Chains A and B, each alone.
Chain A
Amino acid sequence: MLRLPRLDVLMPATLDEAVLALQSPGSRLIAGGTDLLPNLKHRLESPTMLVSLAGVRELSTITVDDDAQELVIGAGATLTTVEQCPQVRAHAPSLCSAAGLVASPLIRNQATLGGNVNLDTRCRYVNQTDFWRSAIGGCIKSEGTVCHVVPGGKNCVAAMSSDCVPVLISLGASLQLVGPNGRRRVAMKDYYVADGTRHTTREDGEVTTAVIVPLVSTPRRAGYSKWTVRGSIDFPLTSVALCFDLERDEVAAPIAGATVVVGVLGAKPRVVTRLDEVVGKSLSDPETAAIVAERVHRQCKPLANVPYEAPYRRQMLRVHTRRAIEALVADG
């Protein structure tokens, strides 16, 4: 039995009321609650008031803005909704795959996309009961001062463990945030920072209101690869999103642009660099998969922050990247 700490709950009906409520000290936003409530039950945060978005209906719509050429997904849409939405499937199929691989069907019925892009970083030494943590004196992300993953480390390396984030960055998505100072938009590739104790640039009083994916008229193949021990419930242990823009609408066509993003390393997802070498090569050329897999393997170094040996996970990044590209080619 895990009890929540004593706290108050506010149920605003509109976004404006929610933003206003968030200005009181000690308040904390809650959407689906599948990440925050376990963390509160584990005493990882101590807000005095939760501002729930459960009653804010305006955040759940999914629309295609033809003028701006954007897919606009309300942050309150559940992952089940995102996975099954025909518009998302048409314009961002790799996001459907990622949303459908998060945790379990029960969690996806409840968790929101806005919550998933703000999922707190995770670590085997953090996401435990306070009783468990007390035996090792906590760490820099909880009650202590040391890092159990990187001995002597001063920077928290808890892992960005969202399935949707790498995909959204690979698709060039941005976030709409609303706060007391108004509305702003931030590219998701700039939203995350390499500090596990606070890994996004969202201000305390801000609410993520929408995830915006640009529409493309040129041919594209995008996919997501998640490896974990079980077929359900688990967080990813390796996580790779791939997006290839092609010169023609067939997998044999030359690649016009490539983006690969890897999660579950440190607090910040890694955008793999130096992929220019595959531009101009055919996606179905086996050398393409080999080159991309090699770049991922060289640049991504998993840590012992989540279960399973880090060297094994690094080796697997190469295998899963190559297989993800082979799967895109096989799908045609």
Chain B
Amino acid sequence: MALIQREALDREDPQRRVPIAEAFWWAEEDHGLLGEVGSYNTPKDRHGEYRGGTIGASPAYSFTAHIADLSVDVETGVTTVHKVWVAHDCGQALSRRIVEGQMEGSVYMGFAEAIMEEHVVDPEHNGEHTGPSLLDYRMPTFLDTPDIEALIVEAPDAQGPYGAKEAGEGPLHPIIPAIANGIYDAVGVRIDRLPFSPPRVLAAIQAREAEVAAGHVQPHKTNARRAG
């Protein structure tokens, strides 16, 4: 039987079909409430020998790699991320679209931290939060978010439920260093503080240009190419 377009139909004879609601009605009449309960516990023997080390120790770790395609505007310090490829080893993917959605959402959140989001308290104004609303705490909109391509890598883990590892937080982390490395590749500056905001990136570019002018460092490849 297949459930398609709000109808339950016989796969052998697709002309035999009823509305889904009716199919569930019949099923509940025959079998009672349709439901299933399940749970998964992490293996007991996996934990660190330290205080708190026994809490939810994971039997396996996920692995992620990100590639960010970006450009840096050397006059404004604005970093524009065009596209991100995220490859994530989640073990066995139980629902591919949902795993992809977790990966894409993680890229979004990490990208947002890298480019614009920031919790700042202002010590000169009684520690007020400078971004207390969705206007002043800037989250990327549909127009700011890069294209994201999620690539699932399946390496099932025997200890995980149905072979799964995880696909929640793991795919977030590498996007920040990927963007930082992209900025370095583009303009030769290392930014080690979040976010990589335009004033911060521009200040680093200008500081590097001053170093180049003083003969302390070599021009970055981009600068060299432009000069040539």
Per the CB under 8 Å rule, do A and B touch in the complex?
yes
Residues of chain A whose beta carbon lies under 8 Å from any beta carbon of chain B: 104, 124-125, 127-129, 132, 135-136, 148, 227, 229-234, 307-309, 312, 315-316, 319
Q: Is B19 an interface residue (CB 8 A)?
A: no
In the bound complex, CA of A227 to CA of B75 (Å): 13
Q: Can you list 15 A-B pairs with a CB-CB distance of less than 8 A?
A: A129-B132, A135-B128, A136-B128, A148-B125, A230-B116, A230-B140, A230-B141, A230-B143, A231-B143, A233-B135, A233-B141, A234-B135, A309-B199, A319-B75, A319-B76
Q: Is B119 an interface residue (CB 8 A)?
A: no
In the bound complex, CA of A54 to CA of B136 (Å): 29
Residues of B within 8 A of A234 (CB): 135, 138
Q: Give B45-72 interface residues, CB cut-off 8 Å to A.
A: none
**CB pair A230 B130 closer than 8 Å:** no
Q: How far is the CB of B121 from chain A (nearest CB, A)?
A: 11
**CB pair B202 A128 closer than 8 Å:** no
For the residues of A in contact with B, the DSSP-based class is loop
**CB pair A124 B130 closer than 8 Å:** yes
Q: Is B198 an interface residue (CB 8 A)?
A: yes
Q: A132-B128, A148-B125, A312-B198 are in contact. Are A229 and B133 (CB under 8 A)?
A: no
In the bound complex, CA of A106 to CA of B202 (Å): 33
Using a Cβ–Cβ cut-off of 8 Å, how many residues does chain B contribute to the interface with A? 22
**CB pair A128 B116 closer than 8 Å:** no
Q: Is B126 an interface residue (CB 8 A)?
A: yes
- Among B130, B135, B143, B197, chain A packs the most CB atoms within 10 A around the CB of B135
Residues of B within 8 A of A129 (CB): 132-133
Q: Give B180-212 interface residues, CB cut-off 8 Å to A.
A: 197-199, 202
Q: Total number of A-B contacts with CB less than 8 angstroms?
A: 53
Q: Is B142 an interface residue (CB 8 A)?
A: yes
Residues of B within 8 A of A308 (CB): 197-199
**CB pair A230 B125 closer than 8 Å:** no
Q: How far is the CB of B108 from chain A (nearest CB, A)?
A: 14
Closest to A227 in B: B76
**CB pair B130 A316 closer than 8 Å:** no
Q: Is B7 an interface residue (CB 8 A)?
A: no
Residues of A within 8 A of B75 (CB): 319
**CB pair B143 A307 closer than 8 Å:** no
**CB pair B199 A312 closer than 8 Å:** yes
Q: Give B109-134 interface residues, CB cut-off 8 Å to A.
A: 116, 125-126, 128-130, 132-133
- Among B128, B130, B132, B142, chain A packs the most CB atoms within 10 A around the CB of B128
**CB pair B138 A229 closer than 8 Å:** yes
In the bound complex, CA of A234 to CA of B134 (Å): 10
Closest to B125 in A: A136
**CB pair A125 B125 closer than 8 Å:** yes
Residues of A within 8 A of B130 (CB): 124, 307
In the bound complex, CA of A227 to CA of B130 (Å): 20
Residues of A within 8 A of B128 (CB): 132, 135-136
B126-161 Cβ-contact flags toward A at 8 Å (1 or 0): 101110110110101111100000000000000000
In the bound complex, CA of A125 to CA of B122 (Å): 11
Q: How far is the CB of B210 from chain A (nearest CB, A)?
A: 15
In the bound complex, CA of A129 to CA of B197 (Å): 26
**CB pair A229 B116 closer than 8 Å:** yes
**CB pair B126 A136 closer than 8 Å:** yes
Of the candidates A127, A232, A307, A309, which one forms a contact with B141 in the assembled complex, judged by CB atoms under 8 Å apart? A232
Q: A136-B128, A231-B143, A231-B144 are in contact. Are A307 and B199 (CB under 8 A)?
A: no
In the bound complex, CA of A148 to CA of B124 (Å): 10
Q: How far is the CB of B138 from chain A (nearest CB, A)?
A: 5
- Among A104, A127, A128, A319, chain B packs the most CB atoms within 10 A around the CB of A128
Closest to B128 in A: A135
In the bound complex, CA of A127 to CA of B142 (Å): 25
Q: How far is the CB of A322 from chain B (nearest CB, A)?
A: 9
Closest to A137 in B: B126
In the bound complex, CA of A312 to CA of B76 (Å): 9
In the bound complex, CA of A146 to CA of B79 (Å): 37
**CB pair A135 B126 closer than 8 Å:** yes
Residues of A within 8 A of B197 (CB): 308
**CB pair B76 A230 closer than 8 Å:** no
Q: Which 9 A-B pairs have CB atoms at the shortest separation, nearest pair first?
A: A231-B143, A312-B199, A232-B141, A136-B125, A319-B75, A232-B143, A135-B126, A309-B199, A231-B144
Q: How far is the CB of A105 from chain B (nearest CB, A)?
A: 10
Closest to A237 in B: B198
Known: A132-B128, A233-B135. 15 other contacts (CB 8 A): A124-B130, A128-B133, A135-B125, A135-B126, A135-B128, A136-B128, A148-B125, A230-B138, A230-B140, A230-B143, A233-B141, A312-B198, A312-B199, A315-B202, A319-B76
